[in-house]
Chain A
Amino acid sequence: MLRKALSAIALVAIGTLSMSGVATAADTEKTVRDAFSSLLPNAKIDRVTKSEVPGFYEVIVGGQVVYVSADGKYLLQGNLYDVPAKKSLTEARLAGIRADALRSLPADKMMSFKPENPKHTVTVFTDIDCPYCRQFHKQIAAYNAAGIAVNYVLFPLDIHPGADKKAEAVWCAADRKAAYTAAMNGQDPGKATCSNPVSETKALSIAIGIDSTPTMLAADGTHVNGNIAMNPAQLVGELDRLAAKAKAK
């Protein structure tokens, strides 16, 4: 979305951003903010911090990150890699943002399917009318048996009209988890309504840049590849690897 907005800017009239001389850190941050806003006046900046790359700042906007040169003259959008470390600094920052968002989401706004002593916990953004979400949930016992706890966040997509009502009906059922499982097996969840967190969880999903379902995040906010996520055995291996990596840090 940000990318599309940015690619359109090359066509609008040239701006009149004033560039001041070099001064204090606060001035630099203002220069960076002004430069960003001159291109995308409607985007709300969440945070501006110094980047690891000398001479550049990170601007966090709606769960995404762009980079702006300290003089405000250049804006970078895409993936920034640390070559010797072989890692994407952008992806690492985004994972951090997502992990913070997950921590801010209370357990009573999710549906948790977990084994006795889970080794790993993943968060899965799910939509009742999404075929792969259904396929995923059909294997829930296998994930749990492998020691993986699954926290579902309801995220009905706009492309599935009525999915939001179904999510609400599931949430409002007497036995939420049983209702979810039944719905994933194709049963109509009915039309129960009650006070529910669906619009809130949906907004949070969008805010951290999630745009499809099922999307799986590991505890550290890493986006787990879809093919791996769909395979319980492979997923355990991947989560073991991520946990080892987090420990090594």
Chain B
Amino acid sequence: MFKRFLGAAFLAAFSVHAFAADDSDKAVNEALQKIFPSTKPTQVVRSVLPGFHQAIIASQVFFISDDGKYLIRGNVYDTLNRQDIGEKQLAAVRKTELDKIPLSKQLVFAPPNPKYTVTVFTDVDCPYCREFHKKIADYNKLGIAVNYVLYPLPMHKGADKKAAALWCAGDRNTAYTDAMNGKDPGEKTCANPVAELTEFGKNMGVDGTPAIFSANGEHIGGYMPPDQLIQRLDQMAQHSRELTAK
């Protein structure tokens, strides 16, 4: 039964435009416009929280009552399933977004038969990104494939040039590894996806590096050593198996 319930919630999240605009949709949209006059919501859907809609605004989830009277800024948990309802909506949207980045625009470090794949937004001049990459063999050994998305932060001057230079190197992965070990990647230029990826990450709300996301779009967090990351991924997989079994 619960599977059906979740399935319905999932469907609701993606068929928002199929709904006829009823009274509550109207009240919710009007209230949102009043509260956030300059920011348009990315997605407004009926929430599983009874009497509420939920909206993504600037990469954050807000819950708003169907009559537009109450707004919740914070986290809403499904107590039975131990799920963060807002995070679930964000993850679904992020997954759709992440799936839009072709592998040809990422740097892939994968073991032969990966158990998990994570997407990591990375910056050549970020110390914890370097720390992460120094252990790439360990992550791979544990069955974790790492897809890097180049995401030079504006606060690191020249990091965008370095990202372009390693992208334009003959062997991209080696150039990346060298750069993460402190080697100057030089000044090579060519057609590259760095600017596009930067824009992409910004729109997704990525505000620091490294930023690690699961294949389901869940935000895992910043730097995490290999043993902790695999533990986290195992827990997440276990949790989702339990949900499916229900």
Q: Is the CB of B77 within 8 A of A75?
A: yes
C-alpha spacing A69/B77, complex, angstroms = 10
Contact of A10 among B35, B51, B239 (CB under 8 A): B239
Closest partner residue, chain B, to A8 (CB atom): B82
B79 at the interface (CB under 8 A from A): yes
Q: Is the CB of B79 within 8 A of A15?
A: yes
Q: Do A81 and B70 contact each other (CB < 8 Å), given the known contacts A10-B87, A69-B49, A74-B49?
A: yes
Tier of interface size on chain A: 20 to 34
Main secondary structure of the interface of A (DSSP, over half): mixed
Q: Is the CB of A53 within 8 A of B76?
A: no
In residues 40-91 of chain B, which contact A (Cβ within 8 Å)? 48-51, 63-65, 68-85, 87
Q: Is the CB of A6 within 8 A of B77?
A: yes
A189 at the interface (CB under 8 A from B): no
B166 at the interface (CB under 8 A from A): no
Q: Which residues of B contact A74 (CB under 8 A)?
A: 48-50, 76-79, 85
CB distance from B224 to the nearest CB of A (A): 13
Closest partner residue, chain A, to B32 (CB atom): A83
In residues 232-246 of chain B, which contact A (Cβ within 8 Å)? 232, 235-236, 238-239, 242-243, 246
CB distance from B139 to the nearest CB of A (A): 20
Q: Is the CB of B70 within 8 A of A80?
A: yes
Q: Is the CB of A55 within 8 A of B50?
A: yes
In residues 191-247 of chain A, which contact B (Cβ within 8 Å)? none
B34 at the interface (CB under 8 A from A): yes
C-alpha spacing A19/B129, complex, angstroms = 46
In residues 110-139 of chain A, which contact B (Cβ within 8 Å)? none
Closest partner residue, chain A, to B239 (CB atom): A11
Contact of B236 among A11, A81, A83 (CB under 8 A): A11
B150 at the interface (CB under 8 A from A): no
B31 at the interface (CB under 8 A from A): yes
C-alpha spacing A74/B48, complex, angstroms = 9
Q: Is the CB of A83 within 8 A of B81?
A: no
Q: Is the CB of A79 within 8 A of B235?
A: no
CB distance from B54 to the nearest CB of A (A): 12
Q: Which residues of A contact B239 (CB under 8 A)?
A: 10-11, 13-14
Q: Is the CB of B69 within 8 A of A83?
A: yes
CB distance from A52 to the nearest CB of B (A): 8
Q: Which residues of B contact A75 (CB under 8 A)?
A: 76-77, 79
Q: Do A83 and B35 contact each other (CB < 8 Å), given the known contacts A11-B239, A53-B70, A54-B51?
A: yes
Instruction: Give per-residue flags for A1-41: 1 if the beta carbon is below 8 A from chain B beta carbons, else 0.
Output: 00100110111111101010000000000000001001100
CB distance from A2 to the nearest CB of B (A): 10
C-alpha spacing A38/B78, complex, angstroms = 12
Q: Do A39 and B79 contact each other (CB < 8 Å), given the known contacts A10-B87, A79-B74?
A: yes
Q: Which residues of B contact A3 (CB under 8 A)?
A: 75
CB distance from A5 to the nearest CB of B (A): 11
Q: Which residues of B contact A80 (CB under 8 A)?
A: 70-72, 74
Q: Which residues of A contact B65 (CB under 8 A)?
A: 53
C-alpha spacing A78/B84, complex, angstroms = 13
C-alpha spacing A158/B213, complex, angstroms = 35
Q: Is the CB of A15 within 8 A of B51?
A: no
Closest partner residue, chain A, to B84 (CB atom): A10
Question: 4 closest Cβ contacts across the A-B interface?
Answer: A78-B74, A81-B71, A75-B77, A79-B73
- For the complex with contacts A9-B82, A69-B50, 15 further pairs of A-B residues with Cβ separation under 8 Å are A6-B77, A13-B238, A13-B239, A14-B80, A14-B81, A15-B82, A74-B48, A74-B49, A74-B79, A74-B85, A75-B79, A76-B77, A78-B72, A79-B73, A81-B72
A to B CB contacts below 8 Å, 5 in the list: A17-B79, A39-B82, A53-B65, A73-B79, A77-B77
